[in-house]
Structure 1
Amino acid sequence: MSTVIYKICPRTLWREAEARGVFEGAAIDPADGYIHFSTAEQARETAAKHFSGMDDLLLIAVDAAGLGEALKYEVSRGGALFPHLYAPLDPAGVLWVKPLPLGPDGWHAFPDLDR
């Protein structure tokens, strides 16, 4: 498994979490009982499926090893194992946060991801 996982998040929601010192996820996350993440191999498909056409997003990189036993890899879309965090995330502990803009082709323009 990759040691870096990714969260796609609206900029406003992430900035609020930074100010509060805790990220409890986007609207879908508490409803499902965990914070949804993607691996580098899954992030583009996640963006296309759940964030199509959305602008003003951020891509948040997190060291999976630092999340301990609260992080579980569980079967999800297409039978793939997706990282799910069963705890709040401390924004101070992320590796980096980068803009995830829409490119001229309408797809999100990803930075290089650690695989």
Structure 2
Amino acid sequence: MTTMKTIFHITEHQKWHQAQILNIYHHPSLDTEGFIHASQPEQVVKTANRFFKNYQNLVILFIDTAKVQAEIRYEFGEVDELFPHIYGALNIDAVYKVIEFQIGEDGVFYLPLEISQLIDLN
């Protein structure tokens, strides 16, 4: 039995809603950097607290890497860690779960239970 490899992408609820209407997810970073940023499970909170401070109405996309049609490359980001980058628009059928990503009362993001359970499985 093979285990599904999941990566995550944080986005605004409205952008995800638009992707569902268009049947494809196209993030502005595709135009500026050539890829869509994603995170491995243990990188989600660090990414959120670094790049999404004070954002509201966020969701986390759970992405099955085996279903992504675009190329995924694991590359070093600004920190010395490998991050998954999706080199093309994301076909929405690769997204198997979407959860709300609420900031804590203290202004900090915390790892949602659904993601911590995935980390525990590895």
**Fold match, TM over 0.5?**
yes
**Change over 3 Å in CA distance of 1:68–1:81 after alignment to 2:** farther
Aligned 1:30-41 pairs, distance under 5 A: 30-41=31-42
Match of 1:64 in 2: 65
Once superposed, which parts of structure 1, at least 4 consecutive aligned residues long, lie more than 4 Å away?
none
Quick one: percent identity of the two aligned structures? 27
- Tell me how far apart the structure 2 counterparts of residues 100 and 49 of structure 1 sit (CA, whole Å): 14
Aligned 1:19-30 pairs, distance under 5 A: 19-25=21-27, 27-30=28-31
Q: Which amino acid aligns with 1:57?
A: L
Gapped runs of 5+ residues in structure 1?
none
Secondary structure of 2:105's aligned partner: coil
Q: Which amino acid aligns with 2:68?
A: L
Match of 1:99 in 2: 100
Deviation at 1:110, TM superposition (A): 3.5
Residue 17 (structure 2) pairs with residue 15 (structure 1): yes
Q: Which amino acid aligns with 1:9?
A: T
Match of 1:111 in 2: 112
Secondary structure of 1:77's aligned partner: coil
Secondary structure of 2:68's aligned partner: helix
* TM value normalised by structure 2: 0.84
* TM value normalised by structure 1: 0.89
Match of 1:85 in 2: 86
Gapped runs of 5+ residues in structure 2?
none
Please say if residues 73 and 84 of structure 2, whose CA atoms lie closer than 8 Å, have aligned partners that are also in contact: yes
Please say if residues 25 and 90 of structure 2, whose CA atoms lie closer than 8 Å, have aligned partners that are also in contact: yes
